[in-house]
Amino acid sequence: MNIVILDSKAANPGDLSWEWLNKYGEVTIYDRTPEAQVVSRAKDAEIVILNKTIVSRRSVEQLPKLKLIAILATGFNVVDTAACDERGIAVANIPSYSVSAVAQQTFAFILEFANRVGLHSDSVHAGDWAASPDFCYQKAPLAELMGKTIGVIGYGRIGRRVTEIAKAFRMRVLANTAHPENYPDAPVKFLSLDEMLPQCDFVTLHCPMTPATDKMVNAEFLAKMKDGAFLVNTSRGGELDEAAVADALNSGKLAGAGVDVLSTEPPAADNPLLSAKNIFITPHIAWAAYETRERLMGIVEDNIASFLAGNPKNIVNLK
């Protein structure tokens, strides 16, 4: 069995091991692979493992030995699954491995905005506290989460975990989902966006990237939000109209934002969010805690072992 990992670096920057793959065959590992080199590197592969490397129809058609594409992520839009269907190539993803980690990142943004830990720590290290005439001081307004209203857009596993955490902070939770009837016992009130947005101190996105959510957070959406609200996106970068969000931040309509994803990654130097006011941006790391990646590695091994045993799991195509 010939196994090729096309982009190993993000999932395993060196603190985990690929040794377990050796029991399944001969393994070749690349840190990253440009799309133009997919065919030359994977031409003899029966199993390809990838994260964000694009495998187009043209590539699929030139990989005659390929049987399985094992994706090191939940999203599988980088692979032309229709082309894989035609060739009988299975595509397996890793669902739900990062639920807790992404919810944690969501609240990392919210807590940074509410408590300004980084700002005040930097101030203390700069000597401001040592020079202060008082025992304490504030560089920016601080906020208590208890009693604040958070709007959760998307009520899948991550949205539900965010709700649990918000409830622990004694926040009021409103939610928006395409199918509220699927959650008759949910501890939240489901509202339309028009009803929800004007009430929320915080709005957080946890929905899939679809034609309906493409640039969903646009000027019209932002105008409906409560003045001075805080926006969080740990979902998909394409769900924001980034120019409109930057305008809302710079005008003060939004008090702040926290985003872990951008429309293009890495971002272009002229991405308007990079120069916007009051925004925390992290480089798509919500999923990247050691424990989360270790869990991911275990699931991808199970996907491969199950496929080879004739009992495939987490196959997103061939239906």
CATH code for the part of the protein at 2-97+290-308: 3.40.50.720
Domain limits, the chain: 2-97+290-308, 99-281
Beta strand segments in the chain, E? 2-5, 26-29, 47-50, 68-71, 90-92, 149-153, 172-176, 189-190, 202-205, 229-233, 254-259, 279-281
Residue showing tokens 């050691």: 290
Q: How far is the C-alpha of 100 from the C-alpha of 292, rounded, in Å?
A: 9
* pLDDT value for 319: 86
* pLDDT value for 316: 97
Domain 99-281 of CATH type 3.30.70.980:
no
Q: How far is the C-alpha of 6 from the C-alpha of 155, rounded, in Å?
A: 33
Asked if the domains at 2-97+290-308 and 99-281 fall in one CATH topology, the answer is yes
- Torsional sign, CA 16, 21, 22, 28: negative
* pLDDT value for 109: 98
Alpha helix ranges (H) inside 18-177: 38-42, 57-60, 81-87, 99-115, 117-125, 157-168
Identity (one letter) of the amino acid at 319? K
pLDDT in tens, the chain (319 residues): 999 999 999 999 999 999 999 999 999 999 999 999 999 999 999 999 999 999 999 999 999 999 999 999 999 999 999 999 999 999 999 999 999 999 999 999 999 999 999 999 999 999 999 999 999 999 999 999 999 999 999 999 999 999 999 999 999 999 999 999 999 999 999 999 999 999 999 999 999 889 999 999 999 999 999 999 999 999 999 999 999 999 999 999 999 999 999 999 999 999 999 999 999 999 999 999 999 999 999 999 999 999 999 999 999 999 8
* pLDDT value for 41: 98
Residues noted as catalytic:
236, 265, 284
Three-class SS string for 259-299? ECCCCCCCCCCCCHHHHCCCEEECCCCCCCCHHHHHHHHHH
Beta strand 26-29 pairing with 68-71? unpaired
